[in-house]
Structure 1
Amino acid sequence: MILLPPRRVLIVVALAGTALLLLYQLHDRATALLPQSSPTSASPQQTTSPNEKPSVSAPTSFWKTRQTHYPLQRLNPVPTGKPKLLPLVQHQFTPESVQDAEVRLSRQQQVKEAFKRCWTSYHEKAWMRDELSPISGGGRDTFGGWAASLVDALDTLWIMELKDDFNEAAVAAVDIDFSTSTDETINIFETTIRYLGGFLAAYDLSGETQLLTKAVEVGEMLLVAFDTPNHMPITRWDWKKAAAGVEKQVPPDFMLVSELGSLSVEFTRLSQLTGDQRWYDAIDRITTVFDQQQAKTKIPGLWPVVVNPQKQDMTFDGGFTLGGMSDSLYEYFAKEYALLGGLVPTYQKLYEQSMAASIEHLLFRPTTPTGADILFGGDARVDDNGIVQEPRGQHLTCFAGGMFALGGRLFSNSEHVEIGRKLTDGCIWAYENMPRGVMPEIVHFLPCPSRAYCAWDPARYDAAVLERAGSTSVNSNIEDIIVQKRLPPGFTDIDDRRYILRPEAIESVFIMYRITGDRTYQEKAWQMFQSIQNITTTEFANAAVSDVTATGIDGLPPKDNRMESFWLAETLKYFYLIFSEPNLISLDEYVFNTEAHPLRRPS
């Protein structure tokens, strides 16, 4: 528990004459959260430049009092009862040697120093902005203008034992005004995973009730997007029209499936903590639709990338993936099952049937020069010729190794743990075989005919490279194409050469380490961390890279002036935790949301 005193303590302090003047000068809400320790004084919030979009506002506290156009007759409650005794997820670790502990703690400290450097720059140059601009300095607003990096990093500050920084950030976070925004349209999914998830995790770790109050404030806003005739949400939400009551809301006829299906963990935890069933009811209605239509899609077991919430039709599209635009839908099934203590078997069914279809139609083994025993999650499209697999690997899909391993443990399926290992090893392989040791956003491979071993065939590989290059002529110079496209052996194309500080690969490496106890994953994580630091470090923090295969005038890949909040919330947190004691945020005690915010499981 952070030492943030209740108001009655402050009254006592106020009686002391030397403190009276100071207390009168403090803002009411900041006063209610004033830490007993003395944090570093906050940098003043930056002023808005003439070229920036001005904020637009709704009346304060409007979301809680707004008239509901489509009231519910009944609410589906969070299941009650004693949680099931679920299988243990984490490996039973044995004591490490003194030498191993020294190495581990040294690496952990270096990760912490990298985080502190970024946090200090954010504090000095972008305080209360959504993101730090890591090359130019200053800040930008990209997620509502509600200090996304600050809220996203609250639990990281706590986990890394930066308690003074946490206290100061908590004071600032409680003062964020969610009745105003820099954006006309709010992304409900991003707001849920970053802000609601951030406040919930910070509360679960610290016990500070003001942070739970703030989570409720965000939750009240999010619920308004569900006020539609069929109670399906509007995920790209014109909040200003909703606030003004200009018109009744109708859900869209086009939505990304991940945005619809990735709200369950956060909404469930909020209902668990408050006893208010509205949030669980909202996502339970969505789960019911997914459950009813799981066997009716064009690849039974999976749901397409695009769905129609207006008609509650989850079947019409023919594109499928575990990667971007679908990923966290599947990630949340096993996690929601654990968060509910195993009391809702629907989530086990959703997980098992979707993973069975993924194994059959999406996973593939790439052909590599060494015959590496690895897997990747690809894409599939259903057309008149049937199901066509696309051997495309996304950095976003690297989360799948951890998903399979976690589900395998929770549902006692050793095959899934092994699949998780091969998927994780695939992303490690992609890191190690890129010239700078960092995997780009999207790549293509030559798949093996089956997931059994297949020998390296140079002629077959050359043909695949030519096909991706759009050339089938026997006179095409394959060596020139490979050099021009900067293709390492085994890669047939690099579709998107960026690395934007993504966490998915280290996420799975961390989970595999905690599940198997294999310290090889710590070594792989350290190599990944060093490689990322080498190409992303700037004067102020860390920056996204526009092309991991290129070399700029400084001898390093060119950088972009972006540092998304997930660098602080996810990537550095997972690197820190893999070098921590295993009982720090145990997978048997917490569920991570898709933004790496740990939410406490029922005991």
Structure 2
Amino acid sequence: MYPPSRKDFISLTLSDSHSHTYNNGKHRRQSCWRKWKQLSRLQRSLVLFLLALLLIFGLLSYPSITEQWRGKQCLPAQQSIPEETQTFRSELSFLIHPFVFVVSIGPVDRLEAVCDAFRHAWKGYKDYAWGHDELKPISRSFGEWFGLGLTLIDSLDTMWILGLKEEFAEAKDWVKKELSFDKNVDVNLFETTIRVLGGLLSTYHLTGDQLFLEKAKDLGSRLMPAFKTPSKIPFSDVNIGKGTAHPPRWTSDSTLAEVTSIQLEFRELSRLTQDPQYQEVVNEVMKLVHKLPGKQDGLVPMFINTNSGQFTHKGVYTLGARADSYYEYLLKQWIQGGKTEDDLLEDYLQAVEGVKKHLVRQTGVSKLTFVGELSHSRFNPKMDHLVCFLPGTLALGAHNGLPGDHMDLAVQLMETCHQMYKQMETGLSPEIVHFNLQASDGQDVFVKLADRHNLLRPETVESLFYMYRFTKDTKYRDWGWEILNSFNNYTKVPGGGYTSINNVRDPVNPGPRDKMESFFLGETLKYLYLLFSDDMELLNLDKYVFNTEAHALPIWPSPPK
């Protein structure tokens, strides 16, 4: 032990003379050496070991840093960052008596972390589900929905954006040699349009490769029988081999979101082919819905009958499942068409006012703003995760000249969507939450047992992307980073792939569901990559509009005045 006098104070001698510079440096070196010698052998060994580790990990991080300087493409697979390095490199703090060392290691390149997540997901798909619709990563098998390679086609433009050339080339080869729509299979008009037709059109625009346009034209023509109904409201299902269409077995209704969220793709197909039939049938749907009675301040019911062309199940209004993308596509069609279609803008603006009037509330505790549901004039404080598309859509509208209070609402709702993740034990949002309107209880959010699953959905990271693009507020990037880490912690499957989970409130046993939705690669990881990219020209939002499956389509040139 040293006497107290040597620990209680340090004497410093300051001098103006430059002639003492060398001597002072020498004394400082001697003082550091004495302090070093004061450490025990174990402490010195620890310091040297950690410094060696820092040097090793610094060298490992070098490719990531140079890639960040060079541009936006992912590193080659062999240079990707090892998982153990990612964990270590975030921040390292350690205490060695009598000194405190805080070693800050630069954050993992977030773009490269997204690339690693995509590669891991793609590895599982390639190894166990190649050419099939969906990966089952736990059982290392696949699920089939339509037999159209949904995950592969949904992922094409993501791979192109991430610069994964080898993976893209393999997928393109499958599209060229294996993808055929000449098969006796019933497909859902909406899902096939947004995932397959949208994916092919987006990839065509990004690559200029005619292969994808030819496949899109073939598919588009095979979907047209769905529109042969008495009302011109399309059937939900179409057999792309037989050329027949029908509603679901249990009803003659179609959901409103499905029949009003295929317009971007069909309109673009007409523009590219110079064949007006595709745009005409989907524009007719919008004209009919525009004139229909049964709305409440722009809010629409969830179902529409394919025989009568009238709304059914009236009095129930939601921005969640079965209605959500109707509102999204009102705005995006208006943007796509060069802001010339006034009926679309009118319907969108009226709907936003209806949302604010009937569906927006605040929690009683923390005053979180949320969007609930209306059922026959009764308010239900229930919000689907799907509704988290809305902050991004509102922000996109404000960016395109719509009222500034749309952006104010977007900021408030974005905070709520963030809390839907943050307040869960796994850091992942459930499918549905209920909000507490009472100030007496300490909780803002309640989650029913049946609603605790997470399907790897993209809506929150989608909105984070828009919010960051338009505000440059880095907190949105940080929130996205937290979500990616939670996906890695609780849904990543060893050997390849990510899985949906049953219980976001149980970090010990989240209950893997053994299914990786195609939109995890097509949307969730794509939006995360765009969120972290500093290249604002990467899918410039003044040049492209995203369909509801995150496939980018060009905004049409304004017609000459």
Same fold (TM over 0.5): yes
Q: 1:352 to 1:254 in 2, by over 3 A?
A: same
Aligned residues of 1:337 and 1:347 also touching (Cα < 8 A): yes
**Aligned counterparts, 1:274-313, within 5 A:** 274-293=273-292, 296-313=293-310
**Aligned counterparts, 1:175-254, within 5 A:** 175=177, 176-181=179-184, 183=185, 185-237=186-238, 242-243=243-244, 253-254=252-253
Question: 1-side partners of 2:279 and 2:295: how far apart?
Answer: 29
Seq. identity, %:
34
1:218 shift after superposition = 0.9
The 3-state SS of whatever aligns with 1:444 is: strand
The 3-state SS of whatever aligns with 2:340 is: coil
1:569 partner amino acid:
G
Aligned residues of 1:443 and 1:491 also touching (Cα < 8 A): yes
Question: 2-side partners of 1:559 and 1:432: how far apart?
Answer: 20
The yes-or-no answer on 1:159 pairing with 2:161 is: yes
**Aligned counterparts, 1:31-42, within 5 A:** none
Aligned residues of 2:545 and 2:555 also touching (Cα < 8 A): yes
Note the residue ranges of structure 1 that are not aligned, 5 or more in a row: 1-38, 41-101, 449-455, 462-488
Query: Paired residue for 1:543?
Result: 499
Question: 1-side partners of 2:260 and 2:153: how far apart?
Answer: 23
Question: 2-side partners of 1:122 and 1:292: how far apart?
Answer: 45
Query: Paired residue for 1:13?
Result: none
Question: 1-side partners of 2:417 and 2:212: how far apart?
Answer: 36
Q: 1:154 to 1:249 in 2, by over 3 A?
A: closer
The 3-state SS of whatever aligns with 2:504 is: coil
Aligned residues of 1:129 and 1:139 also touching (Cα < 8 A): yes
1:513 shift after superposition = 0.6
Query: Paired residue for 1:173?
Result: 175
2:518 partner amino acid:
S
1:428 partner amino acid:
H
Aligned residues of 2:237 and 2:248 also touching (Cα < 8 A): no
The yes-or-no answer on 1:577 pairing with 2:530 is: yes
**Aligned counterparts, 1:434-473, within 5 A:** 434-447=424-437, 456-458=439-441
Aligned residues of 1:498 and 1:544 also touching (Cα < 8 A): yes
Match 2:354 to one of 334, 357, 380: 357
2:524 partner amino acid:
T
Q: 1:103 to 1:214 in 2, by over 3 A?
A: farther
Aligned residues of 2:183 and 2:240 also touching (Cα < 8 A): no
Q: 1:104 to 1:280 in 2, by over 3 A?
A: farther
Aligned residues of 1:252 and 1:310 also touching (Cα < 8 A): no
1:447 shift after superposition = 2.7
The 3-state SS of whatever aligns with 2:341 is: coil
Note the residue ranges of structure 2 that are not aligned, 5 or more in a row: 1-75, 78-104
1:556 shift after superposition = 3.9
The yes-or-no answer on 1:499 pairing with 2:482 is: no
1:237 shift after superposition = 3.2
Aligned residues of 1:233 and 1:251 also touching (Cα < 8 A): no
What do residues 430-488 of structure 1 show as CA deviations (whole Å, max 9, x unaligned)?
1111111111001111236xxxxxxx423xx6xxxxxxxxxxxxxxxxxxxxxxxxxxx
Question: 2-side partners of 1:578 and 1:240: how far apart?
Answer: 40
1:186 partner amino acid:
V
Aligned residues of 2:454 and 2:501 also touching (Cα < 8 A): yes
Query: Paired residue for 1:519?
Result: 474
1:163 shift after superposition = 1.8
Query: Paired residue for 2:407?
Result: 417
Question: 2-side partners of 1:222 and 1:547: how far apart?
Answer: 37
1:103 shift after superposition = 6.0
Q: 1:250 to 1:518 in 2, by over 3 A?
A: same
2:547 partner amino acid:
N
Where relative contact order (Cα < 8 A, 6+ residues apart) is larger, the structure is: 1
Question: 1-side partners of 2:444 and 2:248: how far apart?
Answer: 50
Question: 1-side partners of 2:107 and 2:452: how far apart?
Answer: 32
Question: 2-side partners of 1:324 and 1:240: how far apart?
Answer: 29
1:164 shift after superposition = 2.4
Question: 1-side partners of 2:343 and 2:524: how far apart?
Answer: 31
Aligned residues of 1:535 and 1:556 also touching (Cα < 8 A): no
Query: Paired residue for 1:25?
Result: none
The yes-or-no answer on 1:407 pairing with 2:409 is: no
What do residues 43-102 of structure 1 show as CA deviations (whole Å, max 9, x unaligned)?
xxxxxxxxxxxxxxxxxxxxxxxxxxxxxxxxxxxxxxxxxxxxxxxxxxxxxxxxxxx9
Greater Rg by CA: 2
Match 1:590 to one of 544, 556, 559: 544
The yes-or-no answer on 1:264 pairing with 2:217 is: no
Q: 1:125 to 1:290 in 2, by over 3 A?
A: same
Question: 2-side partners of 1:354 and 1:575: how far apart?
Answer: 28
Aligned length: 451
1:196 partner amino acid:
L
Task: Please give the TM-score of this superposition, normalised by the length of structure 2.
Answer: 0.77
The 3-state SS of whatever aligns with 2:430 is: coil
Question: 1-side partners of 2:233 and 2:402: how far apart?
Answer: 34
**Aligned counterparts, 1:125-136, within 5 A:** 125-136=128-139
Aligned residues of 2:361 and 2:371 also touching (Cα < 8 A): yes
Query: Paired residue for 2:373?
Result: 379
Q: Give the aligned CA root-mean-square deviation in angstroms.
A: 2.4
